[in-house]
């Protein structure tokens, strides 16, 4: 057992280090760790299969697939149009409660995506004072129920694996409500600290658009001014790439040559002006795609594109799309679009082909902001029926009439038979990455138990000054989970810290559920970084924010959230 213990300890440490080093590859990291443990016979085949078919994982999968039906409805779009009516205070609180409550039942990424466009386009209130609170409200709302966020379901699955029973549907609610209301009050009082960005002007000035001068072009041999490239509406020629050299700034007298790559900065809506110039080829056009189907996406933190270029990735073949323009907040980009190393949070405008919507790798790499609709659109009657049935299913499961897994399976059967969901859509939106991460995390937890690492860890902590009592143990677990959440992802952080937190329950002699809830809430405390959570990344670009905006606005929110969560958990389990 000694060798096994050391091996599991090494795998555990290497998993954390690898998650920090390879932040865009959490699935690969977890799967490699699980494979090593399985091949070492520390985890048996039966245990691996049991982890993969864990009732909590399967329930999470069913909920995520069923919730896609609600994303097809007009509910959120209709509600978002009503939010903006009234003065700023009324608008702010309506936005806060609607996004919070919606996120307690729906995918919070979908909630934020549905509301970004109306907020950005409104003429009444500065959108930059509303978009960041929208993201934080969605995060807070996700903590209210068992199904509000995948992290809650993950922790419940791990808890059920050890204790035999899951965490109740509304056991998160008392803690979540207190944290939501207190953080909401702080955020409202701090609303004036957010910038009033001129989003429309800032938006177009940061897009980078590439066009190439073809062989035999009528533009060749003439100056920028004579070619009319200085008179474009909301498009500005900022540099020319010629024979690996950059010409910038570009003067009116600069001569255009064949093979030049012209880099424009400007309003993407005006890009079709460039088609009027004979012999000027837009980057997307070279890939055989028209400019009539433009789609805006944001690169996810876990995308496999990060650090690589579109050319190396074979972007056109891989996604049936070509990049028309790129925007990177807080940093100017220079050079050919196909040779720019991509980063998390980059906003791309894509010209898409007919197969784009059906590609299964889209959701793994991008947050789709606009331009594409779901595969099918529900009729008004189906919309109403779908919303009612989903709410009824949740209520039935919440009060314990039917288990959540069973009611979600019945709902999925209805959605398939009624045509609300196609088999193609289920294949596309099946959260296989999340399923693999949770399965691997449960396998790592099993290995820690089998090898005796948890027992050894408990023995070491019994005399540790860090664990002076129950409250200090809870705080230690919260801080460890929160730090990992900001460094890696919320699900990864929860999966790694939960076994340690659960082991502390025996040392300090309190209900292990206190530690489970602490891990779940700490893993959702993504308030100080635009990269810690998907909704933060979505509003980061849309609101024209800078990193300091998150630090300034999120720091106090994070502190209040910590105090609220710890106070309520302590009052429930320690008093």
pLDDT digits (tens, 9 = 90+) for 14-29: 988 888 777 667 788 8
521, pLDDT greater than 90? yes
How far apart are the C-alpha atoms of 148 and 176, rounded to whole Å? 10
For the chain, how big is the Rg over CA atoms in Å? 26
**181 or 484: which carries more pLDDT confidence?**
181
Confidence band, pLDDT 50/70/90 cuts, at residue 255: very high
Output the pLDDT for position 174.
95
Percentage of the chain lying above the pLDDT 70 cut = 89
How far apart are the C-alpha atoms of 456 and 452, rounded to whole Å? 6
How far apart are the C-alpha atoms of 376 and 506, rounded to whole Å? 51
SS3 assignment, position 526: coil
Least confident of 68-72, 126-130, 176-180: 68-72
Spell out the long-range contacts of 165-169 with Cβ–Cβ below 8 A and sequence spacing 24 or more: 166/55, 166/56, 167/513, 167/516, 167/517, 169/145, 169/394, 169/397, 169/398, 169/404
481, pLDDT greater than 80? yes
367, pLDDT greater than 80? no
How far apart are the C-alpha atoms of 530 and 532, rounded to whole Å? 6
How far apart are the C-alpha atoms of 42 and 411, rounded to whole Å? 38
Q: Residue 80: name the closest of 104, 107, 105, 99 by CA.
A: 99
**523 or 228: which carries more pLDDT confidence?**
523
pTM, whole model, 2 decimals? 0.74
Exposure on the CB side of residue 407, measured as CA atoms within 13 A: 16
Mean pLDDT of 109-135: 82
Least confident of 124-128, 177-181, 271-275, 434-438: 271-275
Q: Can you point out the beta strands (E) in 391-467? A: none
**At what angle are helices 547-573 and 173-189 packed, to 10 degrees?**
140
Segment holding 9, helix H or strand E: helix 2-21
Confidence band, pLDDT 50/70/90 cuts, at residue 466: low
375, pLDDT greater than 50? no
Residue 265 · residue 284 · CB < 8 Å: no
Output the pLDDT for position 269.
67
Output the pLDDT for position 204.
40
Task: Name beta bridge partners: 325.
Answer: 209, 349
Mean pLDDT of 34-44: 91
Output the pLDDT for position 230.
76
**201 or 252: which carries more pLDDT confidence?**
252
Residue 289 · residue 322 · CB < 8 Å: yes
Output the pLDDT for position 463.
60
Task: Name beta bridge partners: 209.
Answer: 264, 325
Mean pLDDT of 550-572: 94
Residue 451 · residue 8 · CB < 8 Å: yes
How far apart are the C-alpha atoms of 551 and 530, rounded to whole Å? 9
**361 or 42: which carries more pLDDT confidence?**
42
SS3 assignment, position 215: coil
Burial class (CB in 10 A: 0-12, 13-18, 19+), 321: buried
Q: Residue 268: name the closest of 323, 338, 324, 197 by CA.
A: 324
Confidence band, pLDDT 50/70/90 cuts, at residue 373: very low
Per DSSP, 323 falls in state: E
Segment holding 173, helix H or strand E: helix 173-189
How far apart are the C-alpha atoms of 396 and 399, rounded to whole Å? 6
Mean pLDDT of 68-78: 73
Confidence band, pLDDT 50/70/90 cuts, at residue 203: very low
Confidence band, pLDDT 50/70/90 cuts, at residue 330: low
82, pLDDT greater than 80? no
Instruction: Provide the sign of the torsion angle of the four alpha carbons 89, 203, 305, 287, taken in this order.
Output: positive
Residue 478 · residue 175 · CB < 8 Å: no
How far apart are the C-alpha atoms of 149 and 145, rounded to whole Å? 8
SS3 assignment, position 327: strand
Q: Residue 266: name the closest of 239, 288, 243, 244 by CA.
A: 239
Cα diameter, the chain? 83
How far apart are the C-alpha atoms of 452 and 5, rounded to whole Å? 6
286, pLDDT greater than 80? no
Output the pLDDT for position 461.
63
How far apart are the C-alpha atoms of 269 and 176, rounded to whole Å? 42
Q: Residue 549: name the closest of 122, 87, 85, 197 by CA.
A: 197
Output the pLDDT for position 83.
80
Output the pLDDT for position 185.
96
Residue 307 · residue 344 · CB < 8 Å: no
Percentage of the chain lying above the pLDDT 90 cut = 19
Burial pattern 33-62, b for ≥16 Cβ within 10 A else e, equals: bbebbbeeebbeeebbebbbebebbbbbbb
Confidence band, pLDDT 50/70/90 cuts, at residue 427: confident
Distances, alpha carbon 492 to alpha carbons 62, 106, 155, in Å: 20, 21, 11
Residue 322 · residue 351 · CB < 8 Å: yes
Task: Write the pLDDT tens digit of every residue in 288-328.
Answer: 565 666 788 888 777 778 888 888 888 888 888 888 788 77
**At what angle are helices 547-573 and 470-487 packed, to 10 degrees?**
150
| Neighbouring C-beta atoms of residue 156, cutoff 10 Å | 27
Confidence band, pLDDT 50/70/90 cuts, at residue 569: very high
Output the pLDDT for position 556.
93
Confidence band, pLDDT 50/70/90 cuts, at residue 138: very high
Task: Write the pLDDT tens digit of every residue in 312-323.
Answer: 888 888 888 888
460, pLDDT greater than 70? no
Spell out the residues 6+ positions from residue 218 whose beta carbon is closer than 8 angstroms to its own. 278, 279
Mean pLDDT of the chain: 82
Most confident range, picked from 145-154, 356-365, 466-475: 145-154
How far apart are the C-alpha atoms of 262 and 275, rounded to whole Å? 13
Confidence band, pLDDT 50/70/90 cuts, at residue 134: very high
């Amino acid at each position: 057992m000694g060798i096994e213990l050391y091996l599991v300890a090494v795998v555990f440490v290497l998993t954390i280090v690898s998650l920090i080093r390879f932040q865009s590859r959490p699935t690969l990291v977890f799967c490699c760790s699980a494979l090593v443990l399985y091949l070492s016979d520390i985890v048996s085949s039966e245990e691996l299969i049991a982890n993969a078919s864990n009732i909590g994982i399967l329930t999470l999968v069913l909920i995520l697939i069923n919730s896609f039906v609600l994303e097809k409805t007009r509910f959120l779009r209709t509600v978002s149009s009503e939010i903006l009516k009234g003065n700023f205070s009324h608008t702010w609180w309506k936005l806060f409660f609607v996004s919070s409550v919606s996120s307690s039942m729906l995918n919070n990424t979908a909630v934020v995506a549905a509301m970004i466009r109306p907020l950005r386009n409104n003429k009444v209130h500065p959108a930059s004072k509303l978009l960041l609170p929208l993201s934080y409200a969605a995060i807070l709302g996700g903590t209210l129920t068992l199904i509000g966020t995948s992290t809650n379901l993950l922790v419940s699955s791990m808890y059920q694996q050890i204790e035999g029973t899951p965490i109740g549907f509304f056991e998160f609610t008392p803690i979540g409500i207190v944290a939501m209301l207190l953080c909401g009050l702080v955020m409202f009082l701090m609303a004036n600290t957010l910038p009033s960005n001129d989003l429309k002007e800032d938006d177009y000035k940061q897009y980078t658009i590439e066009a190439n001068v073809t062989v035999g072009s009528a533009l060749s041999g003439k100056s920028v001014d004579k070619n009319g490239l200085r008179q474009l509406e909301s498009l500005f020629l900022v540099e020319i790439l010629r024979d690996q050299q950059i010409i910038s700034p570009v003067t009116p007298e600069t001569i255009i040559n064949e093979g030049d790559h012209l880099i424009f900065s400007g309003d993407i809506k005006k890009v079709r002006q460039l088609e009027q110039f004979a012999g000027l080829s837009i980057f997307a056009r070279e890939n055989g795609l028209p400019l009539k189907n433009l789609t805006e996406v944001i690169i996810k933190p876990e995308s496999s594109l990060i650090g690589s270029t579109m050319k190396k990735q074979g972007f056109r073949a891989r996604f049936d799309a070509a990049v028309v323009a790129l925007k990177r907040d807080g940093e100017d980009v220079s050079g050919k679009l196909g040779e720019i190393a991509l980063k998390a949070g980059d906003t791309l405008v894509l010209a898409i082909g007919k197969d784009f919507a059906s590609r299964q790798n889209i959701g793994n790499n991008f947050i789709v902001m606009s331009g594409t609709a779901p595969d099918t659109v529900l009729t008004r009657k189906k919309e109403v029926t779908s919303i009612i049935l989903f709410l009824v299913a949740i209520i039935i499961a919440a009060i314990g009439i039917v288990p959540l897994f069973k009611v979600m399976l019945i709902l999925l059967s209805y959605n398939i038979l009624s045509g609300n969901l196609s088999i193609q859509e289920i294949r596309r939106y099946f959260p296989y990455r999340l399923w693999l991460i949770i399965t691997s995390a449960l396998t790592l937890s099993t290995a820690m138990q089998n090898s005796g690492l948890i027992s050894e860890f408990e023995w070491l902590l019994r005399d540790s000054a860090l664990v002076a009592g129950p409250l200090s143990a809870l705080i230690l677990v919260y801080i460890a989970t929160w730090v990992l959440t900001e460094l890696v992802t919320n699900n990864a952080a929860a999966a790694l810290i939960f076994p340690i937190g659960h082991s502390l329950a025996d040392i300090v002699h309190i209900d292990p559920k206190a530690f489970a809830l602490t891990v779940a809430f700490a893993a959702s405390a993504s308030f100080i970084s635009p990269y810690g959570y998907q909704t933060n990344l979505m509003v980061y670009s849309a609101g024209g924010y800078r990193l300091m905006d998150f630090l300034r606005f999120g720091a106090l929110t994070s502190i209040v959230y910590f105090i609220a969560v710890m106070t309520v958990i302590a009052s429930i389990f320690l008093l």
